[in-house]
Structure 1
């Protein structure tokens, strides 16, 4: 069983998708931020709905039960082009949010531009710039894996900043 530092904050970042959800669990103790785990919950190709939602929920639940974060940072979604894809992503996002709420995990929902700005200083940064910034900010040389897992690391990193904001404490 993982022990939590009494003076630390453990957060899960989530990048929702209909057949893959990126996740990353970070812990901040004093000023040090450590990546505890990251990756993707994968749904096999061709899995129909709602089975894909059950697989995503089960995968997230296993991560939450193992790492026990107190806060979640779930990337806010917006789509303008493909309504069918958007609908599927919103369905999976809803299932992930319900799972977090059922486990009494505080939910933060940064926008894509907030995540970009919080990691690189620019709200228009591309994925390569975000990866480079995360490597510097977290002191890691190489993070393997799918872009969705990197997006989740970025969401968690920005969530750490948001969760330590005095405005958030007043609102909650």
Structure 2
């Protein structure tokens, strides 16, 4: 299964493309879609959409894992990030890619086994799971890879439960 993990944002959208096969991970690509500050919001949203669309079209993506939006103290920032997340979801929908959403707590549990793990613990786990030489930067990229790992683990658990229940 080829999984695209996405950490949504307006300035930086982290992404990670991983293959999960036989309980093993292989990194295909990772990076960030970035938009310049002081650029019209509609232009930035279009840049996010096109960037994610290009990534989806560049790989044979089976499923997408994306972080759910959590409420930020700065409402204006939260709304802008929500709009960027919306165009990201639209790119997935236009490409008929199933999307699975995860809370920060679920991502931390899925990668570290502990829902209160800090950023450095997540980064170390991502680096270890994916056998990377160094922590991916910026942090949004490491977060996107963590989301892909979380989805792989969640998807495996879901399939196991279906098999146990005979569904």
SS in 1 for 2:102: coil
CA-to-partner distance for each residue in 1:96-117, whole Å, 9 max, x for gaps?
0011011110100010000011
2:103 to 98, 105, 111: 111
Question: What RMSD in Å do the two structures reach over aligned CA positions?
Answer: 1.7
- Taking the aligned partners of 1:55 and 1:168, their CA distance within structure 2 comes to 39
Displacement after TM superposition at 1:23 (Å)? 0.3
Contact 1:12–1:71 (Cα < 8 Å) also in 2: yes
What's the counterpart of residue 131 of structure 2?
A: 139
How many residue pairs get aligned? The number is: 162
Displacement after TM superposition at 1:31 (Å)? 2.1
Contact 2:65–2:101 (Cα < 8 Å) also in 1: yes
- Taking the aligned partners of 2:136 and 2:88, their CA distance within structure 1 comes to 24
- Taking the aligned partners of 1:89 and 1:168, their CA distance within structure 2 comes to 35
Residue 94 (str. 1) matches residue 74 (str. 2): no
SS in 2 for 1:130: helix
SS in 2 for 1:163: helix
Structure 1's unaligned 5+ residue stretches are 1-8
Residue 51 (str. 1) matches residue 43 (str. 2): yes
Displacement after TM superposition at 1:168 (Å)? 7.9
Structure 2's unaligned 5+ residue stretches are none
SS in 2 for 1:50: helix
Displacement after TM superposition at 1:163 (Å)? 2.2
CA-to-partner distance for each residue in 1:27-65, whole Å, 9 max, x for gaps?
012122111000100101211111100001111111111
Runs of 4+ in 1 over 3 A off after TM superposition: 167-170
What's the counterpart of residue 40 of structure 1?
A: 32
